[in-house]
Amino acid sequence: MITVKNITKTYGRKQNAFVAIDSASFTIPDATTVAILGKSGSGKSTLMHAMSGLDRPEVGEVVIDGQDILTMKPKEVDRFRATKMSFIFQSFFVQANESCYDNVSLPLEIAKVPWAERKQKVEAALAAVQLLDKKKSRARDLSGGQKQRLAIARAIVNEPQIIFADEPTGNLDSATGAVVEDFLFNYVKERGATLIVVTHDEELANKCDARIDIKDGKISATKGLDRKAKK
């Protein structure tokens, strides 16, 4: 369960100050897929960064599994991210010069997963996105859709509880995007993980259990969160 309490994030100072998130509060139950919707500049990415501990709002709490990640030490937050979260980005951020295998192995290395377990986990993740045959190929030789599938493999390899996806299909055509979405949603459903998708794509948002609309840094509407929470 992720509880966001009253977070506010401001950029700049004094007259240049810009409030990116203005006292946002909500609770996301476990095993939920949530879409954060908003126009560009609405603060939806900042919200995601705050929820993942990448950014630190000056006010508020982000409680994940009973721990307020905003009061944790940087090392603890890093450890938290390495073991419990993962990310998927619009522009993939796969390491073009490295093999698919090494790309997927990175989160395991960061999380200090022992050598012996890595191979099996990496191959399972690659198999889940149907890229096992590309294990030794360099990431640069993959197509856009394959790159995002590789990114998904990287995101799921360490079996995270929460996956943050920032416009995961923004750089893909709709057919490829749909395939990528399927992989993502299948994994989340199978594992009972939480998926938080930042998007402005209504279609993608409709596939999620819940949605949070954000406008000018303020949460304008939420849907589906309470219903799930009561369950």
194-199 and 162-166 beta bridge pairing: parallel
What is the C-alpha separation between 231 and 224, in angstroms, rounded?
A: 11
**Range in contact with other proteins (rule: CB under 8 A) among 47-55, 126-134, 197-205, 219-227:** 47-55
Which of residues 85 and 195 has its CB atom nearest to other proteins in the complex? 85
Q: What is the DSSP string of 138-167?
A: BGGGS-HHHHHHHHHHHHHTT--SEEEEES
Shortest CB 42 distance to other proteins, Å: 16
**Residue 216 and residue 42 in contact, taking contact as beta carbons nearer than 8 Å:** yes
Q: Does 109 bind other proteins (CB under 8 A)?
A: yes
Q: Does 26 bind other proteins (CB under 8 A)?
A: no
CA 129 vs. chain centroid, Å, equals 17
Residues 49-68 that bind other proteins (CB under 8 A): 49, 52, 54-55
Q: Does 72 bind other proteins (CB under 8 A)?
A: no
Which of residues 75 and 231 has its CB atom nearest to other proteins in the complex? 75
What is the C-alpha separation between 66 and 3, in angstroms, rounded?
A: 9
Which of residues 41 and 220 has its CB atom nearest to other proteins in the complex? 41
Residue at 70: amino acid letter: L
Report which of 46, 45, 9, 51 is spatially closest to residue 27, judged by C-alpha positions. Answer: 51
Which of residues 11 and 130 has its CB atom nearest to other proteins in the complex? 11
The residues of the shown chain that bind other proteins, judged by CB under 8 A, are 49, 52, 54-55, 74-75, 78-83, 85-87, 89-91, 93, 95, 97-98, 102, 106-107, 109-112
